[in-house]
Amino acid sequence: MADRAYNFAAGPAVMPEPALRRAQSELLNWHGCGMSVMEMSHRGKQFAEIHAEAKERFKRLLGVPDTHEVLFLQGGATAQFAAVALNLMGAGPASYAVTGNFSGIAAKEAAKYGAVHIAYEGKDNGYSRIPGQGELDVAPDSAYFHYCANNTIFGTAWGYVPETGGVPLVCDMSSEIMSHPVDVGRYALIYAGAQKNIAPAGLTVVIVDKAFAGRESAATPQIMSYAKMIAKDSMLNTPPCWCIYMLGLVLEWVEEQGGVAEMDRRRRERSALIYDVLDNSRLYRPHAEPGSRSMMNVTFRTGSEELDAEFCAGAAARGLLNVKGHRLTGGMRASLYNAMPLEGAKALADYMKAFEVEHHV
Ligand X SMILES: *Cc1c(COP(=O)(O)O)cnc(C)c1O
Q: Kindly list the residues in this chain that would bind ligand X in the complex (CB under 6 A).
A: 11, 76-78, 102, 148, 152, 172, 174-175, 193, 196
Inter-residue contact 7 to 20 (CB < 8 Å): no
Nearer to ligand X, 54 or 77 (CB): 77
Nearer to ligand X, 76 or 248 (CB): 76
Concatenate the DSSP letters of all residues of 196-250 into one string. TTTS-TT-EEEEEEGGGTT---TT--GGG-HHHHHHTTT-SS---HHHHHHHHHH
Q: Partners of 172 in the beta sheet?
A: 148, 191
Q: How far is the CB of 177 from ligand X (least distance, A)?
A: 10
Q: How far is the CB of 100 from ligand X (least distance, A)?
A: 8
Extended beta strands in the chain, E state: 6-7, 68-73, 94-98, 116-121, 145-148, 150-151, 156-157, 169-172, 187-193, 204-209, 285-286, 297-301, 320-321, 332-335
Nearer to ligand X, 76 or 302 (CB): 76
Q: How far is the CB of 194 from ligand X (least distance, A)?
A: 8
Q: How far is the CB of 124 from ligand X (least distance, A)?
A: 21
Q: How far is the CB of 46 from ligand X (least distance, A)?
A: 27
Q: How far is the CB of 127 from ligand X (least distance, A)?
A: 12
Nearer to ligand X, 288 or 352 (CB): 288
**Separation between Cα atoms, residue 89 and residue 92, nearest integer Å:** 5
Nearer to ligand X, 78 or 257 (CB): 78
CA 60 to chain centre: 19
Q: How far is the CB of 195 from ligand X (least distance, A)?
A: 6
* Cβ neighbourhood burial of 133 (10 Å; 0-12, 13-18, 19+): exposed
**Separation between Cα atoms, residue 97 and residue 119, nearest integer Å:** 5
Nearer to ligand X, 48 or 105 (CB): 105
Nearer to ligand X, 171 or 349 (CB): 171
Q: Cβ neighbours of residue 174 under 8 Å, at least 6 residues apart?
A: 11, 77, 102, 148, 150, 152, 191, 192, 193, 196, 197
Number of other residues whose CB lies within 10 A of the CB of residue 335: 24
